[in-house]
Chain A
Amino acid sequence: MTDTTSETPKTSGTNGHSAPPPSTGEAEASHAAAHDHDHGANGHDHGHGKFPHLAHHFDTPQQQFDAGKLGIWLFLVQEVLFFAGLFCAYTVYRAQNPEIFVYAHYHLDTTMGAVNTCVLLLSSLTAAWAVRNAQLGEKNKLVVNIVITLLCAFAFLGVKYKEYSHKIHEGTLWGHHFNPEHELWELDSFKGKHPEAAELAEKISAIQYEGQAKPSRGNDAAPKAEPVAAVAAGTSPTESKERRIQRLLMKAPEEAIHPLVAAGIIKHDVLSTTGLERPPTAHIFFGIYFFMTGLHGIHVVAGIIVWFWMLTKARKGQFGPNYFGPIDYAALYWHLVDLVWIYLFPLLYLIH
């Protein structure tokens, strides 16, 4: 504490105390304009003529800033623990059923995830820059940096919206709503990474669903592909389906089989496999995916509201060397939102 309170006059008891108590450390925006007006009324506070943003119960701007800083850090700790519950659920299910995570992540669009990661990283940079601007009192640069941060936040939500609507269209949703349009081996992301495996799965599936409609919805390509597959596999149609599938698997190279086993499409005990099946609890991945990214999205929305609020304050030129706490706190919060995404991206999109 560098500066003790200049005075704390005793209330005389004659003034009416009708004005509301003065603004405080964590949220003075609404009070900022009316601040000077507030001063006289309560008598015992706001003797801080030098520091218009200093709340009555603090002695110095430094004390107020430190309190706010500790407060926001505690809030962030709280946020981390809030998300920790979900990360914990993720860990438990991934430990129990690793294959559903491998299986399901092919349904996510890594490119979009990567774009969003970059967007958020950029916004964190501008947020940090904004703090510097506020400290130096550079009003215009501050406004520009806040606007860029906001644009990034909207861009993030835009990409997220595209991803969500794609998933709704594809039927890759949670719980009973999980009804994927495409099977794993039909996905470009899977084909691109494991062409042999996709080809093998295509052949097996052709045999498996010979003469019947595929259970996945609206895919009429499978029956057409079937005789071709049978010929290509060099198997005789008179053999039982199980035998033909097992013969295929016996001949298949390791790099074709392994990705299918890892994704739970065929059994670990490869030779007992009689057909392809989706991991039965694959929908849990999407439950976790939507919950985590949804909750993160809500935090982004909250961040947007905060940044708009900061923008209003910044445009009024309220920030300067003695008062930059709110921008600092908003930026810290924004970094946390960014950080959560930095964990979510690899945990959900980049699984091996």
Chain B
Amino acid sequence: MATTTTTDFASPVPSATDNYLGNEKGILSWLLTLDHKRIGVMYLFSVLASFALGGLFALLVRAELWTPGPTLPRVDADMYNQFFTLHGAIMVFLVIIPGIPAALGNIILPLQLGAKDVAFPRLNLMSYHVWILGACFMLLSLVMGAADTGWTFYTPYSTMTETAVIPAAFGAFVLGFSSIFTGLNFIVTIHKMRPKGMTWFRMPLFVWALYSTALIQVLATPVIAITLLMLIVERAFGIGIFDPALGGDPVLFEHFFWFYSHPAVYIMIVPAFGVISEIIPVFSRKAIFGYKFIALSSVAIAILGFLVWGHHMFVSGQSTLAGTIFSAITFLIAIPTAIKTFNWLSTMYKGRIHLETPMLYALAFLWVFTIGGVTGMFLAVMSVDVHLHDTYFVVAHFHYVMMGGSITAFLGGLHYWWPKAFGRMYKESTSRLAAVVVFLGLNLTFFPQFILGSRGMPRRYYNYLEEFEGLHQLSTIGAFMLGLGFLITAYSLLTSLKKKFDAPANPWGGTTLEWQTASPPPYYNFATPPEVNRGPYDGYDTLEYDEKIKGYVPTKA
């Protein structure tokens, strides 16, 4: 095991005043807390609430597309445009970007490092407050006449439309700072707060993934911040930098936007890799295969991710040379991603695989992320992308990656760490059912969209050719199935919160440090600062399952 000191296995349920959930009472003890776990929990519920809102808009979009032209009463093209804009902006800025790092990461990262907290707890709290402020501006935009620009805010449309673009862009600007603060905090925490004996290559892969993510957050987010600020100033004062009517260059906006927003894709997916790298070895009872390759491939993806933004712009009028370079580097990213997939599979080889909910999500991730990844090939090939650009093929591709990858991994991680964070086990059968429904709904929603796209259906369309109706209807049915899956998930998780603490310290037999403290952890995380003398996925043999406490304890010698 990774510690040499006594652990909290003996007392699986901490007393009410001891655990972080109960040590202080009252709403202010939450809103002004400096405890990373409480901040993580607040992030988690805020993100889930945003997810519900973004999901609602997704369902409205899908319902509207049931038939060509108007379908829902009173939903005209303008309102439809607002729906997909809000869906995109909420899901990107409020859900997926903070989802794994700020919510799960905040709860788990210091625990995995055996630390008492992140390096800057006050900055951590501020990041959450800033997030709330940004979310308020997003909602303000919703109330003031929701933006209809698409989440990309392309100029000059975004400087000309009558809708409330400024609050939405300002909201995204503010949310960017929340993301920067979280990233900065994590980098310093990982550099300076590792426990004795935890070398870089003894860090859990989730920590590696969060480290890579944090690098992108700190290096890329300021660029979207300044871009959105320029957009706001352009709209408010007519400064002319992006406005073609004043001699400005709208393509420059596209470059700036994607300089952030492509790396942002990796802010969304790299933490998911981290979660999957945690779940698969634990549920296969076998050390991860190719630890260093997985760890370093995250960093490689983070770095290469900065050099490929132009692949969003093959038909924007940028030069052929630029397109060629961007395409070539894009392909390089396929390599570290392929390595990870093969390594996960090899980890399962000759393991002893347990199929509880977190593992179901991990398997679903492998399935859909592979589809999402390989369909990226079509889009990286320049001549094929010219045909597929801005079609449903692209929509399907990034939903397979973002929804199928990030959200699936987020749900997997949520179920994996739920007992740790809240001290309660959810009902396994209900959550498994939800995982299956989500998986089926996901494929039913997005697979038909590949075919729609390659056959000629452009994206962001309110009206479409009648021949596409059947595929659209399949997709809509899938979307509602997905919604149902999420409702079952929410039911399963939320009802567990009404129970008394019943989770063991180590329900899955994990060997990373967070499983060595009680569930939920005490306010100060660890009774004694842990020391580490082996890799994060070593030592499954040293644990055994105890029927009485329904969790793992060290093997009696």
Smallest distance from the beta carbon of A177 to chain B beta carbons, Å?
8
Interface residues of A in 68-112 (CB under 8 A from B): 70-71, 74-75, 77-79, 81-86, 88-89, 92-93, 96
Q: A21-B33, A21-B121, A85-B227 are in contact. Are A176 and B238 (CB under 8 A)?
A: yes
Smallest distance from the beta carbon of B36 to chain A beta carbons, Å?
9
- What is the CA–CA distance of A28 and B37 in the complex, to the nearest angstrom? 21
Smallest distance from the beta carbon of A203 to chain B beta carbons, Å?
29
Assess whether A219 is interfacial by the CB under 8 Å rule.
Answer: no
Assess whether B210 is interfacial by the CB under 8 Å rule.
Answer: no
Assess whether B161 is interfacial by the CB under 8 Å rule.
Answer: no
Contacts of A82 in B (CB 8 A): 222-223, 225-226
Task: Write the chain B residue with the least CB distance to A280.
Answer: B247
Q: Give the contacting residue for B119; candidates A15, A25, A92, A284; CB below 8 A.
A: A25
Assess whether B165 is interfacial by the CB under 8 Å rule.
Answer: no
Assess whether B191 is interfacial by the CB under 8 Å rule.
Answer: yes
Interface centre among A79, A81, A280 (most CB of B within 10 A): A81
Q: Which of B42-50, B376-384, B492-500, B519-527 contacts A (4 or more CB under 8 A)?
A: B519-527
Smallest distance from the beta carbon of B33 to chain A beta carbons, Å?
7
Assess whether B252 is interfacial by the CB under 8 Å rule.
Answer: yes
A57-77 CB mask vs B (1 if < 8 Å, else 0) is 100000100110011001101
B120 touches A74 (CB 8 A): no
Q: Give the contacting residue for B237; candidates A89, A93, A175; CB below 8 A.
A: A175
A71 touches B120 (CB 8 A): yes
Assess whether A339 is interfacial by the CB under 8 Å rule.
Answer: no
Contacts of B193 in A (CB 8 A): 57, 63, 67
Q: A8-B529, A18-B24, A21-B35 are in contact. Are A85 and B238 (CB under 8 A)?
A: no
Smallest distance from the beta carbon of B251 to chain A beta carbons, Å?
10
Smallest distance from the beta carbon of B220 to chain A beta carbons, Å?
8
- What is the CA–CA distance of A57 and B154 in the complex, to the nearest angstrom? 44
Q: Give the contacting residue for B222; candidates A10, A17, A85; CB below 8 A.
A: A85
B524 touches A45 (CB 8 A): yes
Interface residues of A in 17-34 (CB under 8 A from B): 17-18, 20-21, 23-27
Smallest distance from the beta carbon of A45 to chain B beta carbons, Å?
7
Smallest distance from the beta carbon of A261 to chain B beta carbons, Å?
20
Q: A81-B219, A85-B227, A288-B241 are in contact. Are A17 and B523 (CB under 8 A)?
A: yes
Q: Which of B180-188, B349-357, B433-441 contacts A (4 or more CB under 8 A)?
A: B180-188
Smallest distance from the beta carbon of B110 to chain A beta carbons, Å?
8
Assess whether B329 is interfacial by the CB under 8 Å rule.
Answer: no
Assess whether B123 is interfacial by the CB under 8 Å rule.
Answer: yes
Assess whether A345 is interfacial by the CB under 8 Å rule.
Answer: no
Q: Give the contacting residue for B252; candidates A92, A177, A280; CB below 8 A.
A: A92
* Chain B count of residues within 8 A CB distance of the other chain: 56
Interface centre among B34, B252, B522 (most CB of A within 10 A): B34
Task: Write the chain B residue with the least CB distance to A176.
Answer: B238
B233 touches A291 (CB 8 A): yes
Q: Which of B15-23, B271-279, B423-431 contacts A (4 or more CB under 8 A)?
A: B15-23
- What is the CA–CA distance of A25 and B35 in the complex, to the nearest angstrom? 14
* Chain A count of residues within 8 A CB distance of the other chain: 56
Interface centre among B120, B219, B522, B527 (most CB of A within 10 A): B120
Task: Write the chain A residue with the least CB distance to B526.
Answer: A8
Interface residues of A in 174-188 (CB under 8 A from B): 174-177
Interface residues of B in 202-256 (CB under 8 A from A): 218-223, 225-227, 229-230, 233, 237-241, 243, 246-249, 252, 256
A66 touches B192 (CB 8 A): yes
B218 touches A174 (CB 8 A): no
Q: A11-B523, A85-B223, A281-B247 are in contact. Are A70 and B238 (CB under 8 A)?
A: no
A77 touches B219 (CB 8 A): yes
Q: A175-B238, A287-B241 are in contact. Are A67 and B218 (CB under 8 A)?
A: no
Interface centre among B35, B119, B193, B227 (most CB of A within 10 A): B119
- What is the CA–CA distance of A251 and B528 in the complex, to the nearest angstrom? 90
Assess whether A216 is interfacial by the CB under 8 Å rule.
Answer: no
A281-318 CB mask vs B (1 if < 8 Å, else 0) is 10110011011000100000000000000000000000
Task: Write the chain A residue with the least CB distance to B251.
Answer: A92
Q: Give the contacting residue for B247; candidates A27, A84, A284; CB below 8 A.
A: A284
Interface centre among A13, A287, A288 (most CB of B within 10 A): A287
Contacts of A71 in B (CB 8 A): 119-120, 123, 184-185, 188
Assess whether A44 is interfacial by the CB under 8 Å rule.
Answer: yes
Contacts of B225 in A (CB 8 A): 82
B241 touches A78 (CB 8 A): no
Closest 8 CB pairs of A and B: A281-B247, A85-B226, A82-B222, A57-B116, A175-B238, A287-B239, A81-B222, A57-B117
B residues lining the A interface (CB < 8 Å)? 15, 17-18, 23-24, 32-35, 115-117, 119-123, 180, 184-185, 187-189, 191-193, 218-223, 225-227, 229-230, 233, 237-241, 243, 246-249, 252, 256, 522-524, 527-529
Beyond A44-B524, A77-B219, A175-B238, 17 additional pairs, beta carbon < 8 A:
A10-B527, A11-B18, A26-B122, A56-B117, A57-B115, A74-B218, A82-B225, A82-B226, A83-B226, A84-B226, A85-B230, A89-B256, A93-B241, A93-B249, A280-B247, A281-B247, A284-B241
- 6 A–B pairs (Cβ distance < 8 Å), ordered by A: A24-B123, A57-B116, A70-B187, A81-B219, A175-B239, A287-B241
